Chains A and B, each alone.
Chain A
Amino acid sequence: MKDYAGPVETLIEELRKLPGIGSKSAQRLAFFLIRTPKREAEKLAHAILAAKESIRYCSVCNNITDVDPCRYCSDPARDRTVLCILEEPHNILAIERTREYHGLYHVLLGAISPLQGVGPDQLEIPGLMKRLQEGQVKEVILATNPNIEGEATALYLSRLIKPLGVKVTRIATGVPVGGDLEYADHITVSRALEGRRDFSG
């Protein structure tokens, strides 16, 4: 037995598919949308469709973009000798927010997961290798996530890239800013020690 009229039920079902939305939130959103003026609802529907139609993956770096190549790949001011490797397009923002990085990106669109059977063949690695073989890139920064999938991916890639004579670096992980050494576990502290750098005041 259904609780609501068919179209409402369908709307709730569709909203429930969004990340972070459970049944309760889906109901709340559905009733909000039903109450909003038709014009507003149309604007939302159009925005979703327009995004779907004009957005694609950059043919060079796999970033999400409305122009191909994306704005990073086509920006003449970016340093073409450094390539930062990321798992997902939204990770680019995290690096850009630092304003410290001026090189290019390559998005793998996933990570190797021994636990879920996701192998290297399911990632955007061939395009990466092609870019590296062109010879312009001198350093690759492996910025995959510091978890088992990201680590497996970084280990796999470093073995693949090193024979090309390209410098391979991995982002440091360790004690978070605002964290306290006393409360960090020994694995985190040992990682932080491994990733230590020269320091002068």
Chain B
Amino acid sequence: MNENHASTEAIVLRSYPLRESDLIAVLYTRQFGRVSGVARGARRSKSRFAGKLEPLSWSEVVLFCKRNADLFTIDSADLIESFAQRTHDYRCLLQLGLVAEMLADTTPEREPSDPLFRLALLVLPHLTQAATVDLAQLYFEVWYLKLAGFYPSHRNCSVCQALLTADSSVYASIGASLFACGRCQQSGRKVSYRAVSLLDGICRMRLAEVFRLESSPAEVAELRTITESLLQRSFERSFRSLRLISEEAKVV
């Protein structure tokens, strides 16, 4: 392989048409982090790229970059998995969309992070199943915040630093921690202590083990409200997929 060509795994985050038949794809790659690349002729129906650069597919791509060019050229793509095609659940598609949006809009360009790439690949298959989607997304959000350096503690009170225990009443309060104790705060969103323990599990255990923990959909939803507001606050932006997800929650 010549020095300007590189083969790397990539998660396709977005793609949009360019000129008559080309495609620009925004990729999160293992080797280069987030990059944009042009795939020539990718929109022709018999293109060798057909379907391989659809958002939320995981492909092995060969990239070529001219010195000082903004865009990579995508020489070829080999599909490994298409997460969007794996699901027949509208809600799952929205959750997959959230991951793509976060990676596309909050990761720095051309700054690789192997842990982040592995986290995304770990979580994506579980986002295609209605039974695992919510907990997997919570796991992704917590670790995304952690890897970006935005995750505070969840064990102590934000205000008085006291350790939260099974006997404390716990309220959502994002600050030095995600929560405040009942002595420091008496109003707002009350959170069950079991939800605090679930976060403990997420921070200590592998995803497969987290699935074995006892957790209710209500606890997961409770925690996601907190992590998602922390995400939007930390990255100073609102995520469009979250609007669709919350509208969907109202329908169901």
Contact = CB atoms under 8 A, between A and B. Distances in A.
Interface stretch (A5-13, A50-58, A115-123): A115-123
Interface in B35-84: 45-46, 48, 50-52, 54-57, 78-79, 81-82, 84
B213 interface: no
A42 B93 CA distance: 49
A119 B218 CA distance: 25
A163 interface: no
Given A115-B101, A121-B247, A151-B84, A179 B90 contact: no
Counting chain B CB atoms within 10 Å of each CB, the highest count among A115, A186, A188, A191 belongs to: A115
Nearest to B241: A114
Nearest to A183: B48
Nearest to B79: A185
A188 B45 CA distance: 13
A115 B90 contact: no
B88 interface: yes
A178 interface: yes
Interface in A88-132: 112, 114-117, 119-121
Interface stretch (A29-37, A72-80, A152-160): A152-160
Interface residues of B, number: 36
A195 interface: no
Contacts of A114: 93-94, 96-98, 100-101, 241, 244
A200 interface: no
Contacts, number: 71
Nearest to B90: A155
A135 interface: no
A187 B85 contact: yes
Contacts of B240: 116-117
B20 interface: yes
A111 to B, nearest CB: 12
B90 A159 contact: yes
B101 A152 contact: no
A41 interface: no
Q: Can you list the 7 inter-chain pairs with the closest CB atoms, starting with the nearest?
A: A117-B240, A114-B97, A155-B90, A185-B79, A148-B84, A187-B82, A152-B93
Interface of B: 13-14, 19-20, 45-46, 48, 50-52, 54-57, 78-79, 81-82, 84-85, 88-90, 93-94, 96-98, 100-101, 104, 240-241, 243-244, 247
